[in-house]
Structure 1
Amino acid sequence: MVIRAFAPGSVTGLFAPPPAEGGASRGASFAIRDGVVVELEPADTISVTVEGEPAPFEPVEGLCSDLGVTASVDVRPEVPLGHGFGASGAATLATAIAAADAFDLPRSRAELVDAAHRAEMAAGTGQGDVFIQERGGLLWTTDAGIRRTVPSSPIEYATAGGIDTATMLDDEAFMTAARRAGIRGLDALDSEPTLRQLAERSREYVAETGIATSFVDRQIERVEAAGGAAGMALFGETVFAVDVDGILPERTHVSPVGARLLSGT
């Protein structure tokens, strides 16, 4: 029997790596209504396809191994893979939820999320996307912990390609700049930030860390010329914007809910 599950994509506008002396990373991210559907079916071996075509997908394969299940998993993304939408995390989290149902696993929701996070970390494909995708909304870290809100403003976005997450996380110069800029940006957020404020802080972060490509710079300039605010999705050659209409080609909203099983399984 095929089990279907969905997890929303996510966009990270601010990211501060863990302090050199140890600790947790911090960030500000939001889930979007566009995401990833997986179709999972018990099988003799672990195999992964993307829209029916065989493809390597390390975090999904690693998750299945961690859960002790063998399944055929077809990943059907609604957002581009590797462009800063957390698609690998969404696929991995959706797979965990589908596998738990298909194999009647004695795992809590929190345990499934942790398993998906471990698989993402082991593969070097994400830092904490699954925690955003599990809850939905806009989440950000403060000294007092994680806060959440659900903005209603529409979001436009444009993407030109991917930026390898593992490469960025291995870049010591970037990580040092990201830690400084990320903490400054997070500390400047209001007690309940708007998407515009996040975009503005993300814009400053991009400038300070120097990670913007010419495509990102051009799209941000177009948005600002139209009176909107724009930031960069980490990590992808992708720009998200608010308070504009028709400036960027794609449009979505913050997802108020997180990953879930789909009907018709």
Structure 2
Amino acid sequence: MDGEPTDFEPVELALRELGVAARVDLTPEVPIGRGFGASGAATLATAIAANAEFGLGRSRDELVEVAHRAEVEAGTGLGDVFVQNRGGLVVGDGGDPRKYDRETPIEYASFGPIATEEALADDDLMATVAREGSATLDALPDDPSLARLTRDAWDFAETIGLPTAEVREAVEAVEAAGGAASMAMVGETVFAVGAAGVLPNRTEVCPEGAQLR
């Protein structure tokens, strides 16, 4: 990772399932373990690259499933790789997700990690997430703005009780500047739209899915 040796369980599990022994060099552009789905992105990228490098002949769907199983076994995510495979802004609960092209810049600030594995193992939390998440998705219009999605995501985050004091303070600062902000799932990270310069970092929604370059 950034030139330093490290354990990365979902990547290792994916390589094992593919029957490949390889060194993987990862250069992340967002913080790891902060709710950006970086572990899923790394695992999917590894599966796609290994398939090409070693001529494994796996289909794209097979590679996505390999990455997904590795993430679930490692406890680092549940469905990130399906979104990363498609690219764009994907909204849905896995049944029939909708994809939108959005070019609005997104700003963010990250204060620390929240253990994804612990959150996924909390049955009460997961039941609340399923119930409140479905209600939030059902209430969305057919073509929601990124600001609307972000505000609804913040209502959801507050309902399930994950925001920390630092997260709340950052969201309040964005809202005071006329923007909308919410919390990444799962990490002590705030992302925002419509309030340039309030948060220190900037990124964007990539319209393309994971691919070799």
The Cα offsets for residues 175-194 of structure 1, whole Å up to 9 and x where unpaired, read as 22212221111111111222
Residue equivalent to 1:246: 197
Q: How does 1:42-81 map to 2 (within 5 A)?
A: 50-81=1-32
Which of 99, 107, 120 aligns to 2:58? It is 107
| SS of match in other structure, 2:197 | coil
Residue equivalent to 2:138: 187
How far apart, CA to CA, are the structure 1 residues paired with 2:129 and 2:94? 18
| Moved segments of 4+, more than 4 Å | none
- Is structure 2 residue 74 aligned with structure 1 residue 97? no
Given that residues 93 and 134 in structure 2 are in contact (C-alpha distance below 8 angstroms), is that contact kept between their aligned partners in structure 1? no
Cα gap change, 1:142 to 1:57, in 2 (>3 Å):
closer
How far apart, CA to CA, are the structure 1 residues paired with 2:17 and 2:94? 32
Which of 116, 123, 127 aligns to 1:176? It is 127
How far apart, CA to CA, are the structure 2 residues paired with 1:198 and 1:56? 35
Deviation at 1:232, TM superposition (A): 0.7
Deviation at 1:143, TM superposition (A): 9.1
Which of 78, 85, 95 aligns to 2:36? It is 85
- Is structure 2 residue 172 aligned with structure 1 residue 221? yes
Deviation at 1:152, TM superposition (A): 1.7
Cα gap change, 1:164 to 1:233, in 2 (>3 Å):
same
Structure 2's unaligned 5+ residue stretches are none
Cα gap change, 1:101 to 1:142, in 2 (>3 Å):
closer
Residue equivalent to 2:110: 159
How far apart, CA to CA, are the structure 2 residues paired with 1:143 and 1:172? 19
Letter in 2 for 1:242: V
Letter in 2 for 1:165: T
How far apart, CA to CA, are the structure 1 residues paired with 2:165 and 2:34? 16
Higher helix share: 2
How far apart, CA to CA, are the structure 2 residues paired with 1:247 and 1:115? 39
Residue equivalent to 2:71: 120
| SS of match in other structure, 1:74 | coil
Root-mean-square deviation (CA), in Å?
Answer: 1.3
Given that residues 142 and 187 in structure 1 are in contact (C-alpha distance below 8 angstroms), is that contact kept between their aligned partners in structure 2? no
Q: How many residues align?
A: 213
How far apart, CA to CA, are the structure 1 residues paired with 2:13 and 2:158? 36
Structure 1's unaligned 5+ residue stretches are 1-49
Of 121-130 and 141-150, the range deviating more from structure 2: 141-150
What is the TM-score of this pair, normalised by structure 1?
A: 0.78
Cα gap change, 1:160 to 1:142, in 2 (>3 Å):
closer
